[in-house]
Structure 1
Amino acid sequence: MTERSAASGSGQLATSEQIEPGSARRLAMAVLWPAFLLAGVLDALIFVVVDPAELRWFGGPALGWSTLAVYSATFLIVWAVISVSGALTAMMLRDGENRRAGPAGRAAPRSH
């Protein structure tokens, strides 16, 4: 088993060494897939507490949406928020790696 498959099989987070540099597709999937799974869990937890038929827009009349429409809209909103969070984290990690790299792409010496 390679280091990559061992790390992914153990539930550990992917590191930049496991995602090839410049692979936007891999990075997008590393952000979107966990966000999708978590959005499903959060959607279920939200609707254990909230009845979609009783939703009102700031105390006004009921929305009048079907239950499926409320579930879908909530899922997409939660997925988008979690995806943005994951993308910002990935962007900051990549930016930090670029700052640590020296001019020739080698790691710059750390000052203590």
Structure 2
Amino acid sequence: MKWRALMWVLWPSFLIAGATSATVFALVDPLDIKFLGYIQVSRQLAYAVGFFLFWMMAAMSSALTLHMAPRGPLVDEFGDPI
């Protein structure tokens, strides 16, 4: 069950990271981005860092959703399943 829950978090967040980085980098040229005002990185590094940053943010969101999901059988006050 532990591996299944890990895949419930990582697979959707991977898909969202791919779509998000495709959208962001279609609108923003990585060579125009300067970090701390003067550090310029290559396109490949910006794409990789951006993808993994988006993946981490989406994975944290999915993990929080999984953490907050109810566990066990849900029953009402009469003991009937919901």
What TM-score bracket applies, with the shorter chain setting the length?
Answer: 0.7 to 0.9
Instruction: Map residues 45-64 of structure 1 onto 2, 5 A cutoff.
Output: 45-57=23-35, 60-61=37-38, 63-64=39-40
Aligned residue in 2 for 1:74: 50
Q: TM-score, normalised by structure 1?
A: 0.63
> Relative contact order, CA 8 A, sep 6+: which one is greater?
2
Residue ranges of structure 2 left out of the alignment (5+ in a row): none
Higher gyration radius (CA): 1
RMSD: 1.7
Distance, in Å, in 2 between the alignment partners of 1:85 and 1:64 is: 30
Using the TM superposition, give the Cα deviation of residue 108 of structure 1 relative to its aligned residue in structure 2, in angstroms: 4.2
Aligned residue in 2 for 1:36: 14
Distance, in Å, in 2 between the alignment partners of 1:27 and 1:97 is: 13
Q: Which has the higher helix share?
A: 2
Number of residue pairs the alignment of both structures matches: 78
List structure 1 segments (4+ residues) > 6 angstroms apart after TM superposition: none
Q: Return the match for 1:84 from 32, 43, 60.
A: 60
- AA paired with 1:77? L
Aligned residue in 2 for 1:109: 76
Aligned-pair identity in percent equals: 32
- AA paired with 2:53? I
